[in-house]
Amino acid sequence: MTVAQTENLNIVAQDKMPSPDEIKQQLPLTDLAATTVLNGRRTLQAILDREDPRLFVVVGPCSIHDPVAGIDYARRLKALADELSDALVLVMRVYFEKPRTATGWKGYINDPYMDDSFRIDEGMAKARQFLLDVNELGLPAATEALDPIAPQYYGDLISWTAIGARTSESQTHREMASGLSTPVGFKNSTDGSMEAAINGIVSAANPHSFLGISSQGRSAVLRTRGNPYGHVVLRGGGGRPNYDTVSVNLAEQALLKAKLATNVVVDCSHANSWKNPEYQPLVLRDVTHQIREGNTSIVGTMIESFIEAGNQKIPANLAELKYGCSVTDACVSWNTTVDMLRQAREILREALPKRTVRA
């Protein structure tokens, strides 16, 4: 008697994926990249600990799709970071995975050739190479942790991690965050509520044990010590922004009630700008004015920025892609980015020395 098949009924193939160790052997961490990563993490931790009064800015494309344009942007950003370093700490936004409400391009790792070939094995190696190139410029990198396995492949090259609005409530992502080596920003929910983000910070600060993979690619029980550098990211939601003074104060009160440090990052994009990149400069200006007027809880901000303004659809003929223009959310242009950050620095240079800094 033949036993009926009860598993893999909707699986059409299982392609071999290189282990994290195999990818890292092909693309090993260099001394220069390691120095950038560690310095980036220490600086961000010092800001969160109030030992450094500067504002950190996670800035870059909504997503990486063209590594040539991405590195072009990174070189420009590194020069700007050096120029503004007395007031701002710039961290490049390097997002490889894109959560989708229904369907659409899922990002550089999932589909690096943007043709539905889904060469995830090659995408992972390409993503790691890109991060190596960015860090070897001396520029720290930030990303969103979406796939719980992906950090094993490139987490050694990340200085700051976001948990998105759709996943802040996910136990899987809270457990993952508890083991990440970077500070982690939890975004408020898409409806604008803070509860999921705050619960995420509390959860990630505690030890967890959960199923994952080892560096050899084997199933493993991962046991974490907890991440003490969780913080909230205000990104708007529920039909309204939440970067204003009242919203920031409410976030501070919610953090204090949960006995958490009042560390707040403001995302200038997403619902805070009604997904209109032209409003991002207005959000940043409001944030810097709050700091000038005495706010001490806002420690960072996020900006979606690329070489060219706006965004574009992915054409059937990829040769028609506009260079340096986002294929996901619309971004501000490089020139606008420079203006935004230089103006922020001018406002903050006088305000930052007045911020409370622990010895």
| pLDDT tens figures, 48-72 | 999 999 999 999 999 999 999 999 9
Q: Which residues pair with 89 in a beta bridge?
A: 56
Over the chain, what is the mean pLDDT? 96
Tell me the C-alpha distance between 35 and 48, whole Å: 20
Q: Are 213 and 202 in contact (CB under 8 A)?
A: no
| Nearest CA-CA partner of 234 in 262, 204, 206, 203 | 262
CA distances from 190 to 67, 117, 196 (A): 30, 31, 10
Instruction: Please report, for the chain, the start and end positions of each structural domain, with discontinuous segments joined by +.
Output: 56-352
pLDDT tens for 95-116 read 998 776 556 899 999 999 999 9
What's residue 102's pLDDT?
Answer: 58
- The dihedrals phi and psi of 217, each to the nearest 5 degrees, come to 85, 10
Tokens coding 176: 């993952």
pLDDT > 70: what percent of the chain? 97
Residues 153, 129: Cα–Cα separation, whole Å? 11
Is pLDDT of 27 > 90? yes
CA distance 337 to 349: 18
- Please enumerate in sequence order all residues whose Cβ is within 8 A of that of 340, keeping only pairs 6 or more positions apart, or say none: 280, 281, 284, 303, 332
Contact 264, 230 (CB under 8 A): no
Please state, in angstroms and rounded to a whole number, the distance separating the CA atoms of residues 233 and 189. 10
- State mean pLDDT over 332-337: 98
Res 98: pLDDT: 75
Would you say 163 and 140 are in contact if contact means Cβ atoms under 8 Å apart? no
Helix (H, G, I), strand (E, B) or coil at 130: helix
- pLDDT of 359 above 50: no
How long a stretch of residues is the chain? Answer: 359
Q: What is the pLDDT of residues 177-232, one digit of tens each?
A: 999 999 999 999 999 999 999 999 999 999 999 999 999 999 999 999 999 999 99
Tell me the C-alpha to C-alpha distance, in Å, between residue 301 and each of 16, 58, 102, 201: 39, 6, 28, 18
Residue-level pLDDT at 355:
83
How far apart, in whole angstroms, are the C-alpha atoms of residue 93 and residue 44? 14
What residues contact 313, with CB distance under 8 A and at least 6 apart?
327
Which superfamily does CATH assign the domain made up of 56-352 to?
A: Aldolase class I (3.20.20.70)
Spatial distance between the Cα atoms of 331 and 311, rounded to a whole number of angstroms: 7
- The rounded distance, in Å, linking the Cα atoms of 117 and 18 is 17
* pLDDT score recorded for residue 100: 62
**76-90, 145-159, 243-257, 343-357: which range is least confident on average?**
343-357
